Structure 1
């Protein structure tokens, strides 16, 4: 059986982490390991994590505590790098997974999938249905979905940070880590777009229309829909690069593969019957 990991990042998440972990531990297909990187929480987050695993008799987990904190993006980088599974699910600390999320997404994989993402239902801080979805909020319309079925279009959008991927719905093939780690992005460019960009560049970005999670909106989110203000100190590291340097790096890294795709497309046009 293919090994499946879940990478979770936590920080002062005592309010919702138990409910999120319980939803993962109720999966119809359990993960083979859960890796949690806590960014030096000052509340009971780690204590609650340990008691939840004990309650469910789940022993295939490890917790790393960052001292000092790495901030959100580098924390995800660390959690992902510590996973040993072929397939790595990313998880926030405050959502609720559908019981069949892992099973559903594994069944949707294609031979070339490097990153698979899904839709999600929006709920409020108390878990009430807001009767809206992530894709509706981000404007990932039918037209945009048709465009993104063509990975070169998705690559162009992602290069300018036009992103429709929500990290909490992402499933990664560990093959992508060779090119996508370490994460080095400009401010306001998040890890979900980063991994999606690399997947699209290699023609391995896919999505399913299913809502696989309940995505919680609340005032304490570090990133996400309710994030407000310009203080990104808890999210981005100090080694960010400029937008221009970022674009040059990515275009240089994937110039040959992009060129090869253009040649193949041209050949199909010229020699089709």
Structure 2
């Protein structure tokens, strides 16, 4: 089977060479690398093209978008240009361990019913130093080699698998739809939920790359009113996208062989709940916030934690009333 790597870049000149080098250094060479640049304003294109030329990589291609597409659509663009049977996704600033491709390819080869496979990862900072105790939401560092199934239910309302951890079969490409999921769910959610709906989807508990974590956790009280209003609009837009995406899955439920009545019920519940959140953010009606309080357990779906769900519920109030303190709560 042919192996492709899809990379979406934007202003990544600082780290892109290290990422490309780690892909080149794989103990099992990839057949193709597709890089789509979303009109970077730095030297990302120059760095990538120079790396390809210096190493004589004929099957590594760089494309510059005619217009800015945004994060998710840029990835979809890169994916559309791949010709491989197995497609790996790569961020522009991570570092792959040398056995990432061989381990994941081997599992996919032995298990033809697996449509998508993700790995675990460690974290590094901007200076390539390991982050030992990250305490970061939805990061589960396991390295016991076990295989964990990814259910459809676990993905409803939550994008907890990073695209850069994932490879998937080219057969999924035809199912991908051109919607903008930047703010809340992103391309990785769509790929993984479609894999779980159409076949098997797993995470292998093996650390196979280093994820670069850029922690820009500004003080909540330091957020300006202008920035906060922008964040409120982003929150609303994210909920609108989530409602659209989950509604799309529900409306096309007949197309997915693993769809069940319980999944449909959970999708409907998620859509109804997020519409209620959106209505509160738009109207600031305290009665609606009271209704959300009665459904506060629903917030758990975002971070798989009741306590963190409470923080998201509180965040809705802070965002709705422009109270400096909302930044960072989904």
- With the length of structure 2 as denominator, give the TM-score of the two structures: 0.66
**Corresponding residue to 2:191 among 195, 200, 221:** 195
SS of 2:252's equivalent?
Answer: helix
Tell me the residue number matched to 2:156. Answer: 159
Tell me the residue number matched to 1:130. Answer: 131
Q: Give matches, 1:208-227, under 5 Å.
A: 208-218=204-214
Q: Any conservation in 2 of the 1:140–1:164 contact (CA below 8 Å)?
A: no
Per-residue deviation at 1:68?
A: 1.9
Deviations 1:116-149 (A, max 9, x none): 1011000010101112579x7415489xxx9962
Larger relative helix fraction: 2
Q: Any conservation in 2 of the 1:183–1:194 contact (CA below 8 Å)?
A: no
SS of 1:177's equivalent?
Answer: helix
State the number of aligned residues. Answer: 242
Per-residue deviation at 1:169?
A: 1.0
Q: Give matches, 1:262-273, under 5 Å.
A: none
Change (3 A) 1:148 1:182: farther
Q: Any conservation in 1 of the 2:89–2:163 contact (CA below 8 Å)?
A: yes
Per-residue deviation at 1:242?
A: 4.4
Find the aligned partners of 1:147 and 1:119 in 2 and give their Cα distance: 11
| Structure 2 gap ranges (5+) | 217-226, 263-330
Change (3 A) 1:47 1:124: same
Deviations 1:53-85 (A, max 9, x none): 222222211111013211101000000000000
Find the aligned partners of 2:241 and 2:214 in 1 and give their Cα distance: 30
Find the aligned partners of 2:41 and 2:182 in 1 and give their Cα distance: 28
Q: Give matches, 1:1-273, under 5 Å.
A: 2-109=1-108, 110-132=111-133, 137-138=137-138, 140=140, 149=149, 151=150, 154-161=151-158, 163-183=159-179, 185=181, 187-218=183-214, 242-255=241-254, 257-258=257-258
Runs of 4 or more above 3 Å deviation? 139-142, 183-187, 229-232, 240-245, 258-262
Q: Any conservation in 1 of the 2:199–2:258 contact (CA below 8 Å)?
A: no
Per-residue deviation at 1:176?
A: 0.8
Deviations 1:79-103 (A, max 9, x none): 0000000011000000000011110
Find the aligned partners of 1:148 and 1:108 in 2 and give their Cα distance: 13
Find the aligned partners of 1:186 and 1:14 in 2 and give their Cα distance: 21
Task: Identify the range of structure 1 (175-184 vs 203-212) with the bigger mean alpha-carbon deviation.
Answer: 175-184
Change (3 A) 1:69 1:139: closer
Q: Any conservation in 2 of the 1:185–1:241 contact (CA below 8 Å)?
A: no
SS of 2:20's equivalent?
Answer: helix
| Structure 1 gap ranges (5+) | 221-228, 263-273
SS of 1:13's equivalent?
Answer: coil
- RCO greater where, 1 or 2, for CA within 8 Å and sep 6 or more? 1
CA RMSD of aligned residues (A): 3.1
Per-residue deviation at 1:248?
A: 2.4
SS of 1:121's equivalent?
Answer: strand
